[in-house]
Amino acid sequence: MSEKNTNDHHDLHAHVEEPVKEPSYGLTLVAIILILCMFGWLLHKGLPQEWTRIAHGGGHATHTEHGVESGREHGGAVPTETGAGHDVAPADTPTGTPAKEGHDEVAGKPCPPYLMIAPFALLLLAIALFPLIPATEHWWESNLHRFYVAGGLGVVTLLYYGFACHFPVELHWPGHGVTTPEMGPVAMMWTVFKNAIIGEFIPFITLLFALYAIAGGIRIQGDLKASPFVNTVIIAIGTLLASFVGTTGAAMLMIRLLLETNKERRYKVHTVVFFIFCVCNCGGCLLPIGDPPLFLGYLRGVDFLWTFSLWKEWLFVNAILIALYFLIDTCWFYRRESKEDKVRDTSETVSLRIRGAGLNVVLLLGVVLAVMYLAPEKNFFDNIGVKQLCAALGHENRTWHPPFFLREAVQLTLVLLSLGLGSRAVRRANNFNFGAIIEVAALFFGIFLCMQAPLQILNAKGKELPLQTPIHYYWATGTLSSVLDNAPTYVVFFEAAKAQENARRAEAEAAGGESLEKYLEHEKEARNVPVSGGKIPWDLLVAVSLGSVFMGAMTYIGNGPNFMVKAIAEQSGVKMPSFFGYMVYSCLILLPIFLLMNYVFLRLH
């Protein structure tokens, strides 16, 4: 875990953050205005309203032969009642061409061959290896080149579905239907593209962009003494904020203060890594707005405040991480700092000052409220606060589903206000630019496309997995959340747990008598949580939630903010670990804590 290799060229100038090219705000503002004008035109034509009606069973989706009620999930693959991702047609749906030889089939559900995991695996290898290979190191620094690789592998996935897939695939955006190979390769590829990019990637990247851009206008300014105690306090504050302004918002607010405070220190990579562990991931499990997987659970019927019941696990993991950081920094890294660096750190301190918060804190709150209240999947009048107000006014049972992309349009409007009305001097002092979010967009565009086939395989093969106990769900969800986007992974195992419990109840009701009595007794003991379409045992929902949120910290791609913090740190002159180097940290530090979670988890649940 030594940082010596990352600081071999440490000198006086290494502490100075290199200035970055100021972004073209005018071009960005024009682009946002054009997007909003386009959305306004679509509203005038009634298309977003029609897409919402389709999603809620009021019409038929394009390129389908049947429509059933369904909905797009925010930030991840969209499940049917049996799984996630763009699933295949049910066995009793009269649309399909039988799966041909070469495809796996489970219980009448064909899925891609295991070979189709290759594009996703190659993209991960490119992210991991290209920065390390001398021939590709500088080439890979260009976001355009990153997009070439990610988009190219995404195209390979689309070509498979267009020309080699011989079974129907489900359409999830805007509504739920089935596209068959007989409709042609363009229809098949367009279905997968809509599922991955229009239905999943656009909401995902818009939310990250809004939080990133608005938080970039807030400067928590100060060059505090970079002692282990001060660093620990900064990480702890960010960890607490993560559940209330999202992991992205908290990371963007606190990372620059952390970097400026530590600019005189030689050993600081471990500090940024612990920041990613806590602020970008493990701190976000107290509320649904903290992390995308929990928001998906909220949209699928989990009570908004249910996640607050995870406070013991949140406190357990984050307290250990923060205490461990303090001990490691105190007993090892801080002692290795030179006397000259310590003297300079003490002599160059600047008192804490917050600039740009007045406008941008309000706008950040607006982003959070937009995410909470403008989800097209959810009846606006069922939202917390609105429902109680309507009941008090005697207007119960009202229904309105926000049009598709109204939430994203509101978020972009808030970004427009932040960039247009906020202080350019604050952003300049922050060395703010769009490089980090463009890197995330370039890579995750390909990730969302490439992971469609692995998710479909997981959905089809999921019933073969021996998942029975909470610990099974905890590790299965966590392991896959480390290398897949944790939002669709959460949905897969959320649906698996619900299907398992629904099947158990149906079997007991069919048997009746003593079997039903035993089930009802079990249901009471399990404290089943009501969700859309059934119930989930409390302990299984806890397992899925913790696995997806906590283990998103295991790799750079486990959660979107991980990459952004890495990029910002590298812009500030911190040579961050490679993909595998970061995993050395996560395996040595996080895995033992997650194993402890095993023990505590079994004791508490």
Residue 360: what pLDDT? 93
What is the share, in percent, of the chain residues with pLDDT greater than 90? Answer: 36
Give 306-330 pLDDT, tens digit per residue: 999 999 999 999 999 999 999 999 9
Residue 344: what pLDDT? 79
Pick from 72, 78, 71: which is nearest to 487 by CA? 78
* Average pLDDT score, the chain: 82
Token digits of residue 252: 């963007």
Give 527-574 pLDDT, tens digit per residue: 888 887 778 888 889 999 999 999 999 998 888 788 889 988 988 889
602 confidence band (pLDDT: 50, 70, 90): low
Residue 21: what pLDDT? 62
Interval 195-203 mean pLDDT = 89
Domain borders along the chain are 56-96+109-205
Give 333-370 pLDDT, tens digit per residue: 988 888 887 777 677 777 778 888 889 999 999 998 99
Residue 3: what pLDDT? 57
Q: How far apart are CA 499 and CA 5, in angstroms?
A: 50
Distance of CA 228 to the CA centre of its chain: 30
Residue 568: what pLDDT? 87
Give 591-600 pLDDT, tens digit per residue: 999 999 888 8
Give 415-469 pLDDT, tens digit per residue: 999 999 998 998 888 888 888 889 889 988 998 899 888 878 877 776 667 788 8
Give 373-391 pLDDT, tens digit per residue: 898 888 888 888 888 888 8
Q: How far apart are CA 576 and CA 567, in angstroms?
A: 9
107 confidence band (pLDDT: 50, 70, 90): very low
Does 315 or 507 have the greater pLDDT score?
A: 315
150 confidence band (pLDDT: 50, 70, 90): very high
Q: How far apart are CA 54 and CA 278, in angstroms?
A: 40
Distance of CA 414 to the CA centre of its chain: 21
Interval 132-159 mean pLDDT = 93
Q: How far apart are CA 328 and CA 305, in angstroms?
A: 35
Q: Is the pLDDT of residue 521 over 50?
A: yes
Residue 300: what pLDDT? 74
